[in-house]
A and B are shown apart, each in its own frame.
Chain A
Amino acid sequence: MYRTLVGLVVAFAVALALVGLTFSSSAEGRADYVFVNGTEPKTLDPQKMTGQPEGRVADAIFEGLTFRDNETLRPVPGSAVSWETSPDGLRWAFKLRPEAVWSNGERVTAADFVYAWKRLLAPATASEYAYLLHFVRHAEAFNTFGAQAEALGGPEGAVARLRARVADAGAGAGLTAVRWQAFVKEVGLSDLLTGTADPVLLAAFARTGGAFTAAEAVALADAVEAEQVRREHEHAAAVAHLGVDEGIFAPDPSTFVVELRTYTPYFLELTAFYPTFPVHRRTVEANPDDWFQPGRIVTNGPFLLHRWTVNERIRLRKNPRYWDAPAVSLETVDALPIENTTVAMNLYLTGSVDWSPAGYPQDLIDVVKRRPDFYGQPGMMVYYYRINCTRKPFDDARVRTALGLAIDRKVLVEQVMRGGQVPAVTMVAPGIPAYRSPQGTLGFDVPRARALLREAGFPDGKGFPKVSLLYNTSDAHKKVAEWIADQLRRNLGVDARAVNQEWQSYQESVRRLDYDLARAGWIGDYRDPNTFLDMWTTGGGNNQTGWGDPAYDRLIRLATEPLAVVEMAAAERDAFLATMKERPEAERLLAAVGAAPDPKARLAAVDALRLHLFREAEAILIQDGIPVLPLYFYVVTGLVHPRVGGFHATVRDVDGSMIPNLQDLHPFRDVRMRGPAGAPR
């Protein structure tokens, strides 16, 4: 018996010794500024990261050509001390700051930016944000045309196979549209030919019935081959010139030149966004997989990566070599990878954490929002439900509209969410300068919803199949889903149920179109309607509803190249304008472009036209097509300790008015602590 007791005591001692071992790494004191960062960052490689937790750290340890000013959130000189633009807005030349250095003392040169931006676009990097720079000359060709041309050409390529099909079909009934669509799906032809403007191809993609004549079929094959050849040539040109003397290049070590293919008003904003941050070439090439680990990583921002303990914390230290080091007040910053909102709130309430973005359980919103240390601002994010347009009866637009009209968004926002969210009947979140969404038609109108449902063949919901509202496991999503299910039951007589799946299964169900309605959310990456609208093009990777409309696709495409409208032949332009919902306005803007007195005014007029094209597209999306049910626009909320200075929930707009800090960006370089840490009063 005594041996047992001795044994137990020994076990206890061993336990305590082990405990002592694990403590050694946590022996440092509390950092100046501690905040809750959500999920553990997957990587700190700027060209490979996506997500806010990664972004917050990247913004601190790296610096792009520009960074965001704390009080206005507009891009101000960072690694670049000044820049010049050509009158047509297509050529940008950045002068780099001579005193900007890497953490190992070497100068930050233009070559570093060329290397990083090229790396972002290189197919081998497999970067998820490569598409962000596709408006740069040669960029899209460099990024995607190589693989596409390869898949299209050659003896096994799509072109050869199509010609074979055409030849086979020519002997018989001709190439039917059905066979053609099957071929498109089999080969993934629309992915291989993204962005094509060839009218023959566009018409063919939209064709679902009938058959092509022999001549048409051959013309079709010719068009595909022409695309293949074009892509091959453009890819070769891009490989030869990108990074060398066109598109993105450095004529000398302190000048970085970017040539745009089309005028992009939000380009400068992107130079403060992490995919465009420079990286130290030798470091990356020496250890391509883990160059960003502490001890190896070389950075150029106001902070250094001091320590990274997975599941515990990331500690940053002030970078003494940073060109603006005297302006940085914090010495150390800790980012805690905590996802559980209750834990985050507990840490905040005890003063262990200074900033907890969205870090409190959603159900406590009523009490939390009354606190003085709470902030809530509209965010650039939309909460919505996808509708599976390939599944009956959701393929009927009347059914989709009926569903949208049966949900009382006001109650959702005021009684269920209660956080100051804004009801949404459009898909582009507010906050985009100068953009006005079209009128949404999905208000709360139960009689009309019922009428539509009856028209579609389901009077009082009779005969309507069971509807599953799919959401990924989360208390907040569950609440919304169950409430919506109840709304549909009550208002339409439809048997709706909320169903959850864990994240991976949910993603795959949505991707494979194995759902009825599925919850979704989208955050804007930059302040332009494109970020919210280009995903709904036919077959787009983020569409995942099976909906497509050639008119919509065309508008989106033209919105990214508005000058194409200006340069259209008169007949074509008239036909195009005839399709617009707000034709007079479109004509006025078009005229304004032509009448612009100087290049600057012309750019502004093109911009206005561009925004109008987006507006027309959004109108199709939310008035006619309705493949999605917008519900509300998020608010960005959180708790921040009163001692934190330099933290702005609202920022100054160009005209001096205060606008919300839509993306909840609070760069650490400007944060100052006023007073000691401790529980907030």
Chain B
Amino acid sequence: MSAAVPPRPTAAAPPVGPPGRSLLADAMRRLRRNRLAVVGGVVLVLLLLASFLLPAVLGLDHEITRPEFHNQGPSAAHPFGTDNLGRDYVARVLVGGQTSLLVGLVGAIVVIVIGSVYGAVSGYFGGWVDEIMMRVVDFLYGIPYMFLVVLIMLQFGDEDRGSNKPIFVALAAVQWLTMARIVRGQVLTLREREYVLAARVTGASHARILFRHVIPNCMGPIVVYGTLTVPAVILLESFLSYLGLGKSLSWGVLVAEGVQGINPVKMDWWLLAFPSGALALTLLSLNFLGDGLRDALDPRTRR
């Protein structure tokens, strides 16, 4: 390992844009110019619209069972095929998307906000503050998750069974931990940068430094891991389904059931392909959108 310490970096410009433009407006402008990000955003919106509006508009029923038509491949009547009870798979995938997209996106936002702030505070202050905060994270990490989920399930009565509230609580309870760690790691490396020291010298409060200097410069990992949180949340929801907390219909659940269709005896590929495809499409668009967001918000690439 070469002994050279990287040459002292020049201070990054403080995040004040061209006169008259706020950070956010500037970011939006740059985002719009990124074609891939725009495509990603559009696809995401289309998926949302399709999931929430299409079933009602087209009159699709995802619950009606026709077992005599079970496990049929894609056809004109059923473009995505049918499942093991003869239910139309287009309807199942779309309605499942409602749960997954809602849970995934909202859950991810909650996770990002809680995790980033927590991690940034921990990394920024360092010392015993960091030590305590990270031990809390370790503690929450070590708790057997299943019991926590069942306990949460108990707090919500019968009326809430089938609603999204308990799911959000259960998911948010643990997913923010890794985000906090990542942001903390990033902040640790940023803390000693000149502009931070400079800001402190000029008397800026800790909060101001955190929110205007430190966190914006962490946007990279935040956005990247944030987009990675969405699939993690969606798949975690299917684990919750197993316990009886999650919805019985979501992309995660469809994928878990669909994987049984992949076997040497009988290949019902559509049961796995369509929900996985929807999941992958969502993530791909989120990725491009996320990359665009990161580029747009990164102060160092501003001109």
Contact = CB atoms under 8 A, between A and B. Distances in A.
Touching chains A and B, CB distance < 8 Å: yes
Interface residues of A, number: 38
Contacts of A40: none
B85 interface: yes
Contacts of B162: 497, 499
Contacts of A349: 264-265
B241 to A, nearest CB: 8
Interface string A328-362: 00000000000000100110010000000000110
A368 interface: yes
B1 A486 contact: no
A415 B68 contact: yes
A479 B161 CA distance: 19
A502 B85 contact: no
Contacts of B265: 345, 349, 360, 364, 367-368
Contacts of A411: 67-68
Contacts of B263: 342, 345-346, 361, 364
Interface string A1-42: 111100000000000000000000000000000000000000
Given A361-B260, A363-B71, A479 B244 contact: no
Contacts of A498: 248
B242 to A, nearest CB: 5
B150 A483 contact: no
Contacts of B260: 342, 361, 363-364, 475
A501 B243 contact: yes
Interface string A479-508: 100110111011000000111111001100
A208 B34 CA distance: 77
Contact of A500 (B1, B85, B248): B248
B21 interface: no
Nearest to B256: A475
A364 B1 CA distance: 57
Interface string B233-271: 000000001111000100000000100110111100000
The DSSP consensus for interface residues of chain B is loop
A502 B84 contact: no
Contacts of A368: 265
Nearest to B260: A361
B70 interface: yes
B65 interface: yes
Contacts of B63: 482, 485-486, 489
A487 B65 CA distance: 8
Interface in B44-95: 63-65, 67-68, 70-71, 84-86
A366 B261 CA distance: 13
A482 B65 contact: yes
A416 interface: yes
Contact of A364 (B67, B153, B242, B266): B266
Interface residues of B, number: 29
B1 A3 contact: yes
A506 B243 CA distance: 10
Contacts of A482: 63, 65, 85, 248
Contacts of B158: 468
A415 B70 contact: yes
A502 B246 CA distance: 12
A3 B266 CA distance: 50
Contacts of A283: none
B67 A416 contact: yes
Contacts of B264: 349
The A interface is mostly helix, strand or loop, or mixed, namely: helix
Contacts of B86: 415
Nearest to B154: A505
A506 B242 CA distance: 12
A641 to B, nearest CB: 16
B68 A502 contact: no
B248 A501 contact: no
B1 to A, nearest CB: 5
Best-buried of B63, B68, B244 by chain A (most CB within 10 Å): B244
B115 to A, nearest CB: 28
A246 B85 CA distance: 59
A134 interface: no
A499 B260 CA distance: 22
A505 B85 contact: no
Given A342-B260, A363-B84, A483-B85, A502 B1 contact: no
B71 A486 contact: no
A479 B85 contact: yes
A473 B243 contact: yes
Interface in A546-582: none
Contact of A483 (B1, B67, B261): B67
B67 A415 contact: yes
Interface in B145-171: 150, 153, 158, 161-162
B143 to A, nearest CB: 18
Nearest to A501: B244
Interface string B79-117: 000001110000000000000000000000000000000
Contacts of B68: 411, 415
A641 B234 CA distance: 41
Interface in A452-495: 468, 473, 475, 478-479, 482-483, 485-487, 489-490
A486 B161 CA distance: 19
B150 A505 contact: yes
Contacts of A415: 67-68, 70, 86
B242 A473 contact: yes
B244 A500 contact: yes
Interface in B129-185: 150, 153, 158, 161-162
Interface string A379-390: 000000000000
A416 B83 CA distance: 11
Contacts of B257: 475
Nearest to A472: B244
A486 B248 contact: no
A549 to B, nearest CB: 29
Interface in A184-224: none
A363 B67 CA distance: 12
A486 B64 contact: yes
Interface in A388-443: 411, 415-416
A505 B240 CA distance: 14
A499 B244 contact: yes
Nearest to B253: A478
A482 B63 CA distance: 8
Contact of B161 (A342, A364, A499): A499
Contact of B1 (A1, A363, A497): A1
Contacts of A364: 260, 263, 265-266
Contacts of B2: 1
Contacts of B244: 473, 499-502, 505-506
A490 B161 CA distance: 22
A411 B70 CA distance: 12
Pairs A-B, 3 closest by C-beta atoms? A415-B67, A501-B244, A486-B65
Given A500-B241, A502-B244, 18 more contacts: A2-B1, A342-B260, A342-B263, A346-B263, A361-B260, A364-B260, A364-B265, A367-B266, A475-B260, A482-B65, A483-B85, A489-B63, A499-B161, A499-B162, A500-B248, A501-B244, A502-B150, A502-B243
20 contacts: A1-B2, A346-B263, A361-B263, A364-B260, A367-B266, A415-B67, A416-B67, A416-B85, A468-B161, A473-B243, A479-B84, A479-B85, A482-B85, A483-B67, A486-B63, A500-B241, A500-B248, A502-B244, A505-B150, A505-B244
Interface of B: 1-2, 63-65, 67-68, 70-71, 84-86, 150, 153, 158, 161-162, 241-244, 248, 257, 260-261, 263-266
